[in-house]
Amino acid sequence: MLSLVLLAALRETVPGNVGEGVTALVGLDVGTSAVKAVAISPDGEVLGIAEESYPLSVPRPGWAEQDPEDWWRAAQTALARVPEGPIGLSGQMHGLVALDAGDRVLRPAILWNDGRTGAECEEIESLLGLDRLVSLTGNRALAGFTAPKLLWLRRHEPETYSRLRRVLLPKDYIHLRLTGEHATDVSDASGTLLFDVGGRRWSDEVCAALEIPREWLPPALESTVMGGAGDQAAAALGVGIDRPGPVSVALGTAGIAFAVTPSYSPDPQARLHTFCHAVPDTWHAMGVMLSGGGSFAWLCDLFDEDAADLDREAERWPPGCEGLLFAPYLAGERTPHSDPNARGAFTGLSLRHDRGALARATLEGVAYGLRDSLELLREAGVRPEVGRISGGGSRSDLWTRIVASVLDLPLERTECDAGSAYGAALLAGVRSGTFADAAEAVARCVRITERINPDAEWVAAYSEGYARFGALYPALRPLEEA
């Protein structure tokens, strides 16, 4: 019965069915640890939020998998707990959902944070050449992306690969279960390494070079047409980043600095990701640090301490923590180093340092990592005057002040911090005709509630600290091979 209700809600979003009389718009985010559903009014008021978690499987060190059926069960449960309405989707990017000719799941999905495909990444860059790969896809071959996973499957699970007929991304599997349709959107497709990001279409050249049948890939629609987007594009839209101007600063498990660009202009060295944005005819450049909020969560788990209590201990220490530095590379790093073997470290420890000092150094180390990304965005021509901060870490006043001061950039909070699910709800509104376009959705629903300015004294201290932080990775790198 629930599936029929969900299908009816999806049918309301078919283009041409203008959203007259719509009282709720629903966003569903397929995350790494849970599905999150949020229902909003056409004016952006939150009507309901539900979350349903599921397990992460780590069958071997460095691997990460999930059962797509767990996503579907969680999606049904979460959607049943919020008001009904047109549904928009967002989700974790890059994951490989392998289906047979009957749309049956062949194996657990291989996720964005799975690191098994190092050899396949080298193979892809060798086959296409790094310059050509970056020119076409906006990115270099990274272990988390989808194409290397397909090559791994062909090499290590040939029987499964021989039955493969359809390739979907995580949110697109939920779309299939809701509608019976195979589709993706351009922002999510940009993270497969099979997509011509500048042309906003699948790349025949890359597919041919990698011997990936083009017919395995679903139609790639504009996000506003599908009513869905990759998690970071949806999250940015959810805080009002629909055009060049403010940057998005996200402090979730990862740390993200995200800017919309009016044209396709990938970083020649691929230090930044370049993807299609969720708004037609725009792209985004994005720096990704793999352990953003995850670094502080790790420290809280290590001390078996609540985040708010550790935050208060950190507040007692001055900026710079008397020379204590943290390298936030607990799971390797993407931006700017692209080094899966990078590892975290505390340096500058003294007898005076306590838990609070370690906590503050962790907050500062993540902020320095975000500045690495922002500096690359500035190199690319982005000139932000303000940022919009979101994610669980943004709820800490201390951390937000630290980030604003390290970046020397005012940061704004929005009324609703429901992340990618909120952006997905806005996309549901555009697809259903409730809003004429993404700009109207943002204008009607996204409201700024607070502005946090950099602290002038902290800015000076962090300018010196950032210079020292820049020396940390080169000094630690030789130890990776020890």
Which residues are marked as active site?
Answer: 231
Helices (H), 227-334: 231-238, 293-303, 307-315
- Three-state DSSP class for residue 285: strand
Triad 406, 187, 105: Cα angle to 5°: 120
Separation between Cα atoms, residue 99 and residue 138, nearest integer Å: 27
CB-CB neighbours of 254 under 10 Å: 22
Distances (CA, A) of 21 to 10, 17, 429: 15, 11, 12
Element (H, E) at 442: helix 438-445
Separation between Cα atoms, residue 203 and residue 182, nearest integer Å: 18
Contact in structure between 2 and 81 (CB atoms under 8 Å): no
| Half-sphere CA count of 441, side-chain side, radius 13 A | 33
Distances (CA, A) of 459 to 327, 368, 470: 20, 12, 16
- Three-state DSSP class for residue 461: helix
Closest by CA to 44, choosing from 450, 480, 342, 441, is 441
Q: How many residues does the chain have?
A: 482
Looking at the DSSP bridge assignments, the partners of residue 389 are: 249
- Three-state DSSP class for residue 362: helix
* Encoded amino acid at 253, one letter: T
Contact in structure between 119 and 154 (CB atoms under 8 Å): no
Separation between Cα atoms, residue 476 and residue 122, nearest integer Å: 24
Which string of b and e fits 278-304 if b means at least 16 CB within 10 Å? bbeebbbbbbbbbbbbbbbbbbbeeee
